[in-house]
Chains A and B, each alone.
Chain A
Amino acid sequence: MIELRGIGKRYRVGDSIVPALSEVSLTVPHRAFVAIRGPSGSGKSTLLNICGLIDGFDDGSYRLEGENVGALNEASRTLIRRRHIGFVFQSYNLVPVMSVRENVEYPLRLAGVSDNERQRRVDAVLAQVDLSDQAERRPDLLSGGQRQRVAIARALVKKPALVIADEPTANLDTATANRVIELMRELGRQYGATFLVATHDDRMTAHCDQVRTMRDGVLQ
C-alpha cells in the first residue's frame, strides 16, 4: 500500500543544508501496523509527514495504492487526505469550539457524507472508543486519554486506508498510553486501516507487525 523508494529530504537552515532523510525505502502492506522508532531528530516526523501527504520530498518516489503521489499538486493531495488518510497527533489537535461529536463528524462533513450516515457512523465510532456519554462535551473538559480517543475516532470515522500517528502516546501516562495503543490496534483491524506510528515508546513496538528504526535520517 505504501511504497517509498530512495526518499531524500533536505532542509535549508541559513546557508547550510541539513539532510533530514536520505535514501529511505519502505514498503508497508495493507492493514499493517508499523512503528517507526528512533532518537529525537532522527527524522521520524519528517517521514510520517511525507507518507501523510502533508509534506513533500526532494528525491525518490512515493507510491500510495499504486499511484505516484509525489507528482500530484496540492489540491489533489488534499482530496486524497480527505478520503483516505487519517491523522492522530501527539497533542490531540481537537478543535476546542466543537463538541466531541462535531470533532469526529468533521471529516465526514468534508467528504460530503449525508446527515443520517454521518450520525450513524459517528455514534458507532464513539461507542467503540467508549465516549458515547461524552459526545456533547467540549474537548477541553476531557482528560488526555479521552482526547486522544476522540482523535482516534476522528481519524478512523471516514474509514481511511492509512492512519498517520506521530507520537500519539507521548503526552500520556503508561496506563492510558497502553489503552490508546490497544485501541488503535483493535480499531485499525476493524476498520481495515494501515497504521504508521512514530514513537519513542517501547511499549508500542510490542504490538506491531513491523518495527523500523530511524537514525540520522536513515531507515534501518
Chain B
Amino acid sequence: MSALVLAWRNVLRNRRRSFVTLLIAALGTASILVAGGFAQYTYDSLREGAAREFGHLTVAHADYFDKDEESPLQYGLEGHEALVAELERDRRVRRVLPRIELSGLISNGDKSMIFMGIGADIMAEAAVRGPFLKLVAGELADGDRTDGPPRVLLGVELAESLNARPGSSLTLIGTTAAGGMNAMDVEVAGTISTNWPDVDKRLIYAGIGTARRLLATDKVGMLAVFLQETGDTPALRAELEARDPVHAFKPWWEQSAYYVSVRDLYDRIFGLLGVIIAALVFFSVTNTLTMAVAERTREIGTLRALGAAPADIVGEFVREGVLIGGIGAGLGMLVAGSTMVALLMFDIQMPPPPGRADAYPLRLYADPVFYLLTSLVILALCAAAAWLASRKAAARPIVEALGHV
C-alpha cells in the first residue's frame, strides 16, 4: 500500500464531499484556462492587427514622435528612398512603405468637413497587409495617376456627410510644409470602412504622391517597416537603434494604444477572475479537509500515540489535497482542451470589442506553459489548504485527540 493509495482511500471516505470539491477544482481550473486562453487569443489577434496597421516598426525623424510640428512635416523624413533601400536589404524585412499623415478640409463645394488622412502607396499597402480596408463601394485605386485628377478613398461616414460616391469630385484644402494654403481637386475612387465608426467619419486615403503635392514637399512622414516574423521586432529595433541614432524606431506595441489598453483591461479582468477562482478552490478544499480532519481527530490521536510525528499526519492530508487538486486540474485541462476544440468546430462570434464595429470568432489558445502553470498553482493551493486544515490538529495534545468523539 503506497502512501498515495492510502490518501486516495481517505479521499473516498466521504465520496460526495470529495466529489464536489474535486468538481470545484476541475471547474476552477477549466475556467482559468478558458478565460486565459481567450485573453491570449485576443492579444494575439490584436497584435497581428496592430502590426498590420502600423507596420512592425515605424521609422521617423528623431523628433517626430515627441515634438509638435509647427508646420506639416517639419520633422518629416528627407530622401527616404535610400533609407527604404537600406532597410529592405535586411532579410527579416518584408517591405518598407512610406506614409504621410494628412489633415485639412475636404469640400464638395457646398459643405466642408475636417479630414484626417493618410497618404500612402495604396496598392503596395494592400499587397503587404492583405485586405486591410473594407471596400464598401467603388475600387481601391492607385491614387497617383497622371491622366486625370488624383483619386482618393473616403471613409463611409465621411462620404455620406459629403454626399459623395465613387466618381464624385471633391476638393482637399490643406497647409503646405512651408505654411501656405493649398487646394487640390480629387476624385472619389471608393468608400471604405475600418470598422471604427469614429475613424470612418474623417478618414481619407490618398496616394503618397498626392499627399506630397498637397503639402508641397519632398518629405514623407514616416516609414512603416513590415517584417516576416512579428517575433523579430524587438531584436531588429534594438539593432537599428544601435546603428542609427538619427532616426526614431517605434515598435507596433508603442503605436497601438488600443492593443495596450485592451491588454491592460483584459489583464485586470481576467487577473481578478483568476484570483477569485483560485480563492474559491482554496476555500473549498480547506473546508473539505477541515471537516475530514475534525472527523478523524481520534484517528489522528491514535496514529500519534503509535509514533507518527505531526509532519506525518500533515503529510497524509497534504497528499489528499494534492490528489483532489491533481485530479481536479487534470479534469479541468481536459474540459478546457475540449472547449477549445469545440470552438474550432462550431463557429461562435464574439460581439465587437469596445469602440469597434466588427464581431470576431471566439477562439481559445492552449498554451502548454500556461496549462502547466495553472495546474501547478491549483496543486499548490490544494496542498496549502491541506496544510492549513491539518497542522493544528496534528500538533494537538494526543490525549485530547483520543478523547474526541
Contact = CB atoms under 8 A, between A and B. Distances in A.
Most B-side CB within 10 Å, residue of A52, A95, A98: A95
A213 interface: no
B6 A87 contact: no
A85 B10 CA distance: 26
A54 B306 contact: no
B307 A75 contact: no
Contact of B6 (A82, A89, A98): A98
B302 interface: yes
B307 A79 contact: yes
B306 A97 contact: no
Contact of B307 (A89, A97, A111): A111
B85 interface: no
A107 B307 contact: yes
B399 A54 contact: yes
Given A82-B306, A111-B307, A97 B13 contact: yes
Nearest to B307: A82
Range class of the B interface residue count: 20 to 34
A110 B306 contact: yes
A183 B135 CA distance: 97
A54 B304 CA distance: 9
A123 interface: no
B238 interface: no
Contacts of A107: 306-307
A143 interface: no
A110 B312 contact: yes
Interface in A44-61: 49, 52, 54-55
Interface in B294-313: 298-299, 302-309, 312
Contacts of B399: 49, 54-55
Contacts of A83: 307
Range class of the A interface residue count: 20 to 34
B13 A78 contact: no
A54 B307 contact: no
A216 interface: no
B398 A110 contact: no
B133 interface: no
Contacts of B398: 49, 54-55
Contacts of A154: 306
A121 interface: no
Contact of B306 (A49, A75, A81, A99): A81
A106 B9 contact: no
Interface of B: 1, 6, 9-10, 13, 298-299, 302-309, 312, 397-399, 402
| A-B interface, 8 closest residue pairs, ranked by CB to CB distance from nearest | A82-B307, A97-B9, A54-B398, A93-B302, A81-B307, A55-B399, A110-B307, A87-B305
22 contacts: A49-B398, A49-B399, A54-B304, A54-B305, A54-B398, A54-B399, A55-B399, A78-B308, A78-B309, A79-B307, A85-B307, A86-B306, A87-B305, A93-B402, A95-B299, A97-B10, A99-B1, A106-B306, A107-B306, A110-B308, A110-B312, A111-B307
Given A81-B307, A95-B302, A95-B303, 12 more contacts: A55-B397, A55-B398, A78-B304, A81-B305, A85-B307, A87-B306, A95-B299, A97-B9, A97-B10, A102-B1, A105-B1, A106-B306
